[in-house]
Protein backbone atom coordinates (compact mmCIF):
# COMPACT_ATOMS: atom_id res chain seq x y z
CA UNK A 1 0.00 0.00 0.00
CA UNK A 2 1.66 3.15 -1.22
CA UNK A 3 0.88 6.50 0.40
CA UNK A 4 0.37 9.80 -1.35
CA UNK A 5 -2.15 12.46 -2.27
CA UNK A 6 -4.55 12.22 -5.24
CA UNK A 7 -4.56 14.77 -8.03
CA UNK A 8 -2.15 15.94 -10.73
CA UNK A 9 -0.78 18.79 -8.60
CA UNK A 10 0.76 16.23 -6.21
CA UNK A 11 1.81 13.64 -8.77
CA UNK A 12 5.57 14.24 -8.62
CA UNK A 13 5.78 15.43 -5.03
CA UNK A 14 8.12 13.82 -2.52
CA UNK A 15 5.08 12.93 -0.41
CA UNK A 16 3.78 10.76 -3.29
CA UNK A 17 6.80 8.50 -3.49
CA UNK A 18 4.71 5.61 -2.10
CA UNK A 19 2.33 5.95 -5.06
CA UNK A 20 5.30 6.01 -7.43
CA UNK A 21 6.68 2.76 -6.00
CA UNK A 22 3.34 0.99 -6.46
CA UNK A 23 2.99 2.44 -9.98
CA UNK A 24 6.46 1.22 -10.99
CA UNK A 25 5.94 -2.24 -9.52
CA UNK A 26 2.59 -2.56 -11.27
CA UNK A 27 4.11 -1.33 -14.54
CA UNK A 28 6.86 -3.98 -14.20
CA UNK A 29 4.13 -6.62 -13.86
CA UNK A 30 1.97 -5.26 -16.68
CA UNK A 31 -0.77 -4.19 -14.25
CA UNK A 32 -2.64 -0.94 -13.77
CA UNK A 33 -4.59 0.22 -10.75
CA UNK A 34 -8.17 0.51 -11.92
CA UNK A 35 -10.68 -0.40 -9.25
CA UNK A 36 -11.87 2.44 -7.03
CA UNK A 37 -13.11 0.28 -4.15
CA UNK A 38 -12.00 1.27 -0.61
CA UNK A 39 -11.63 4.94 -1.67
CA UNK A 40 -8.44 3.87 -3.41
CA UNK A 41 -6.99 2.79 -6.72
CA UNK A 42 -6.21 -0.88 -6.40
CA UNK A 43 -5.81 -4.21 -8.11
CA UNK A 44 -5.53 -7.76 -6.85
CA UNK A 45 -3.02 -9.97 -8.64
CA UNK A 46 -0.52 -12.78 -8.25
CA UNK A 47 3.22 -12.28 -7.91
CA UNK A 48 5.37 -15.40 -8.19
CA UNK A 49 2.69 -17.57 -6.61
CA UNK A 50 1.63 -15.03 -3.96
CA UNK A 51 -1.69 -13.18 -3.94
CA UNK A 52 -1.11 -9.45 -3.60
CA UNK A 53 -3.33 -6.42 -3.31
CA UNK A 54 -1.74 -3.23 -4.65
CA UNK A 55 -3.44 -0.17 -3.17
CA UNK A 56 -3.02 3.62 -3.33
CA UNK A 57 -5.53 5.45 -1.09
CA UNK A 58 -7.33 8.41 -2.66
CA UNK A 59 -8.35 9.84 0.72
CA UNK A 60 -5.41 12.28 0.97
CA UNK A 61 -2.44 11.40 3.13
CA UNK A 62 -3.87 12.31 6.55
CA UNK A 63 -6.86 9.98 6.06
CA UNK A 64 -4.98 7.01 4.57
CA UNK A 65 -6.07 4.77 7.43
CA UNK A 66 -9.70 4.85 6.30
CA UNK A 67 -8.81 3.25 2.99
CA UNK A 68 -6.27 0.80 4.43
CA UNK A 69 -8.76 -0.34 7.07
CA UNK A 70 -11.56 -0.84 4.52
CA UNK A 71 -9.26 -2.98 2.36
CA UNK A 72 -7.89 -4.94 5.35
CA UNK A 73 -11.41 -5.66 6.60
CA UNK A 74 -12.72 -6.72 3.19
CA UNK A 75 -9.86 -9.16 2.53
CA UNK A 76 -9.45 -10.18 6.20
CA UNK A 77 -5.78 -9.18 6.11
CA UNK A 78 -3.65 -9.81 9.17
CA UNK A 79 -1.92 -6.61 10.22
CA UNK A 80 1.56 -8.13 9.94
CA UNK A 81 0.86 -8.96 6.25
CA UNK A 82 0.31 -5.29 5.39
CA UNK A 83 3.22 -3.35 3.87
CA UNK A 84 2.99 0.45 3.79
CA UNK A 85 5.36 2.41 1.49
CA UNK A 86 5.94 6.08 2.32
CA UNK A 87 8.34 9.02 2.39
CA UNK A 88 10.54 9.72 5.42
CA UNK A 89 12.07 13.12 6.22
CA UNK A 90 14.49 11.66 8.75
CA UNK A 91 16.26 9.50 6.16
CA UNK A 92 18.41 11.11 3.47
CA UNK A 93 17.48 10.58 -0.15
CA UNK A 94 19.18 7.36 -1.23
CA UNK A 95 18.40 5.47 1.97
CA UNK A 96 15.51 3.06 2.43
CA UNK A 97 14.57 1.36 5.63
CA UNK A 98 12.27 -1.64 6.07
CA UNK A 99 10.70 -1.71 9.55
CA UNK A 100 7.87 -3.31 11.48
CA UNK A 101 5.99 -2.54 14.69
CA UNK A 102 7.10 1.10 14.82
CA UNK A 103 5.39 4.35 15.71
CA UNK A 104 4.51 6.95 13.09
CA UNK A 105 7.67 9.05 13.49
CA UNK A 106 5.64 12.19 12.78
CA UNK A 107 4.18 10.85 9.51
CA UNK A 108 0.48 11.73 9.48
CA UNK A 109 -0.46 9.06 6.94
CA UNK A 110 1.12 6.38 9.12
CA UNK A 111 -0.58 7.88 12.21
CA UNK A 112 -3.92 7.55 10.46
CA UNK A 113 -3.24 3.90 9.60
CA UNK A 114 -2.21 3.07 13.18
CA UNK A 115 -5.34 4.78 14.49
CA UNK A 116 -7.69 2.98 12.08
CA UNK A 117 -6.08 -0.46 12.39
CA UNK A 118 -5.69 -0.09 16.16
CA UNK A 119 -2.13 -1.37 15.82
CA UNK A 120 1.35 -0.45 14.60
CA UNK A 121 2.01 -4.13 13.83
CA UNK A 122 2.26 -3.66 10.06
CA UNK A 123 5.50 -3.45 8.06
CA UNK A 124 6.80 -0.41 6.23
CA UNK A 125 9.21 0.63 3.50
CA UNK A 126 10.40 4.10 4.47
CA UNK A 127 11.98 6.01 1.60
CA UNK A 128 14.30 8.85 2.55
CA UNK A 129 13.53 12.28 1.13
CA UNK A 130 15.88 14.30 3.36
CA UNK A 131 15.31 17.81 4.71
CA UNK A 132 14.65 21.14 2.99
CA UNK A 133 17.77 22.88 1.69
CA UNK A 134 16.45 26.37 1.18
CA UNK A 135 14.41 27.16 4.27
CA UNK A 136 11.11 25.85 2.90
CA UNK A 137 8.49 24.80 5.40
CA UNK A 138 8.24 21.03 5.80
CA UNK A 139 4.75 21.08 4.29
CA UNK A 140 5.91 22.94 1.17
CA UNK A 141 8.99 20.73 0.91
CA UNK A 142 7.15 17.38 0.97
CA UNK A 143 4.51 18.65 -1.47
CA UNK A 144 7.14 19.81 -3.99
CA UNK A 145 9.04 17.69 -6.54
CA UNK A 146 12.58 16.59 -5.84
CA UNK A 147 15.27 19.18 -6.55
CA UNK A 148 16.65 18.94 -10.12
CA UNK A 149 19.94 17.38 -8.97
CA UNK A 150 18.04 14.70 -6.95
CA UNK A 151 15.73 13.32 -9.65
CA UNK A 152 18.11 10.58 -10.82
CA UNK A 153 18.78 9.43 -7.27
CA UNK A 154 15.03 9.50 -6.50
CA UNK A 155 14.38 7.16 -9.46
CA UNK A 156 17.02 4.74 -8.14
CA UNK A 157 15.47 4.90 -4.66
CA UNK A 158 12.04 4.10 -6.10
CA UNK A 159 13.52 1.09 -7.91
CA UNK A 160 15.23 -0.10 -4.69
CA UNK A 161 11.93 0.31 -2.83
CA UNK A 162 10.22 -1.97 -5.39
CA UNK A 163 12.98 -4.50 -4.69
CA UNK A 164 12.28 -4.16 -0.94
CA UNK A 165 8.58 -4.87 -1.55
CA UNK A 166 9.39 -7.94 -3.64
CA UNK A 167 11.71 -9.25 -0.92
CA UNK A 168 8.97 -8.70 1.68
CA UNK A 169 6.54 -10.79 -0.37
CA UNK A 170 8.96 -13.55 -1.40
CA UNK A 171 11.24 -13.89 1.62
CA UNK A 172 9.62 -12.02 4.50
CA UNK A 173 10.30 -8.85 6.42
CA UNK A 174 13.53 -10.06 8.09
CA UNK A 175 15.15 -10.79 4.74
CA UNK A 176 13.98 -7.46 3.34
CA UNK A 177 15.42 -5.65 6.36
CA UNK A 178 18.75 -7.48 6.12
CA UNK A 179 19.19 -6.84 2.40
CA UNK A 180 17.80 -3.32 2.08
CA UNK A 181 18.57 -1.42 5.31
CA UNK A 182 22.35 -1.62 4.79
CA UNK A 183 22.25 -0.07 1.31
CA UNK A 184 23.10 3.57 0.68
CA UNK A 185 22.51 4.76 -2.87
CA UNK A 186 24.34 8.04 -2.15
CA UNK A 187 27.59 6.14 -1.62
CA UNK A 188 26.99 4.22 -4.86
CA UNK A 189 26.37 7.51 -6.72
CA UNK A 190 29.65 8.98 -5.44
CA UNK A 191 31.63 5.90 -6.61
CA UNK A 192 30.27 6.15 -10.17
Q: What is the pLDDT of residue 96?
A: 97
Q: How far apart are CA 190 and CA 192, in angstroms?
A: 6
pLDDT of residue 50: 93
Q: What is the pLDDT of residues 53-106, one digit of tens each?
A: 999 999 999 999 999 999 999 999 999 999 999 999 999 999 999 999 999 999
Q: Give Rg (Cα) of the chain.
A: 15
**pLDDT of amino acid 168:** 97
pLDDT (tens digit per residue) in 119-140 = 999 999 999 999 999 999 999 9
Question: How many other C-beta atoms are found inside a 10 Å radius of the C-beta of residue 59?
Answer: 19
Per-residue confidence (pLDDT) for residue 186, from 0 to 100: 84
Q: Which domains does the chain have, with CATH numbers?
A: 8-191 (3.40.50.1470)
Catalytic residue set: 15
User: Of 35, 41, 60, whose CA–CA distance to 1 is shortest?
Assistant: 41
- Quote the pLDDT of residue 162: 98
Amino acid sequence: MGLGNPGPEYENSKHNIGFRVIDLWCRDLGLSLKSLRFRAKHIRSAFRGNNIIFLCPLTFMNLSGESVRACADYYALETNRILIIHDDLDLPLGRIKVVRDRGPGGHKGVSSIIRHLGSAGFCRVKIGIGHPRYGETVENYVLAPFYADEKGLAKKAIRLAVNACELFVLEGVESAMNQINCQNLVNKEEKN
